[in-house]
């Protein structure tokens, strides 16, 4: 059950570029884009998921830099397909003007891959990293 601080707001105020905090209080990235349900005639679109990762951030940048950013993101993804990391709207715990807290731990989120890769491949190899 998502708790919203305000009942009427805009995407730039509360959602876009906001920091995601997981259930352990650790940062889990930022909202780069929003996924809305496809609009039917009588039914306005509804927020279904938060999207993060370079393939979501690229289109918002626009221009050559945006497509270049998106291409890098696509190549970085170990899993094929260029759909960005998706965090279902049901996972959102609380939204206020400071951050968006989630119900899940960041390890279970899509966007965990790049962090785990750095952790294991680089930082994990340097002595003294565990304490």
Partner 1 sequence: MKAVLSMTLGVMTAIGGFVDIGNLVTSGITGARFGMTLAWAVLVGTAGMVLFAEMAGRVTAVTRKPIFHVVRERLGVRVSLVNAAASTFLNLITLAAEIGGVSLVLQMVTGISYLIWVPLAGLAAWLVIWRMPFQWMENIFGLLGLGMIVFVVALFRLPTDWHALWHQVISPAVPAGQPAPTWWFYAVSLIGACIVPYQVIFFSSGGREEGWTSKSITEMRVNALIGFPLGGLLSLAIMAAAVPVLQPLNIQVSHLDQVALPVASAFGRAGLAFVFVSFFAATFAAAAESALSSGYSVAQYMGWSWGKRHPPSAAARFHLVCLASVIAATAFTLTTIDPVTVTIFAVVLGAAAVPLTYFPILIVANDARVMGQRVNRRWVNAAGTFFLTIMVVVSLVSVPLLIITKAGQ
Partner 2 sequence: MRTSELIGCQVYDTAGQHVGTVHDLHFRLRPQPGGSQACQLDALECGGIGFGHRLGYGENAMRGPWPFPQLFRYLARRSVAVPWTEVTAVNRPRIDISSRRDQLQPARRQRT
- Where do contacts with partner 2 occur on this chain (CB under 8 A)? 1-2, 4, 7-13, 15-16, 33-39, 44-47, 51, 56, 59-60, 62, 89
Six token digits for residue 25: 């209080």
User: Of 47 and 104, which CB lies nearer to partner 2 in the complex structure?
Assistant: 47
Residue 106 CB neighbours (<10 A):
18
Residue 11 interaction partner, one of partner 1, partner 2, none, beta carbon < 5-8 Å per kind: partner 2
Q: Which member of 98, 105, 107, 108 binds partner 1 (CB under 8 A)?
A: 98
Residue 2 interaction partner, one of partner 1, partner 2, none, beta carbon < 5-8 Å per kind: partner 2
Six token digits for residue 33: 């884009």
CA dist 19 and 31 (Å) reads 7
Instruction: Give CA separation, 72 vs 34, 40, 99, in Å.
Output: 20, 34, 27
| Contact of 55 with 124, CB cutoff 8 Å | no
Residue 72 in contact with partner 1, rule: CB under 8 A: no
As measured in angstroms, the least distance from the Cβ of 95 to partner 2 is 9
Residue 9 CB neighbours (<10 A):
13
User: Of 110 and 115, which CB lies nearer to partner 2 in the complex structure?
Assistant: 110
């Amino acid at each position: 059950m998502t708790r919203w601080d305000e009942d009427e707001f805009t995407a730039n105020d509360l959602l876009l570029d906001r920091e995601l905090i997981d259930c352990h209080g650790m940062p889990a990235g930022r909202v780069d884009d929003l996924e809305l349900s496809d609009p039917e005639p009588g039914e306005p679109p509804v927020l279904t998921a938060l999207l993060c990762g370079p393939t979501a951030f690229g289109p918002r940048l626009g221009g050559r830099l945006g497509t270049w950013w998106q291409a890098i993101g696509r190549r970085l993804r170990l899993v094929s397909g260029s759909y960005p990391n998706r965090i279902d709207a049901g996972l959102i715990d609380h939204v206020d003007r400071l951050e968006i807290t989630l119900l899940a731990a960041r390890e279970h989120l899509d966007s965990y891959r790049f962090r785990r890769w750095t952790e294991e491949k680089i930082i994990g190899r340097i002595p003294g990293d565990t304490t």
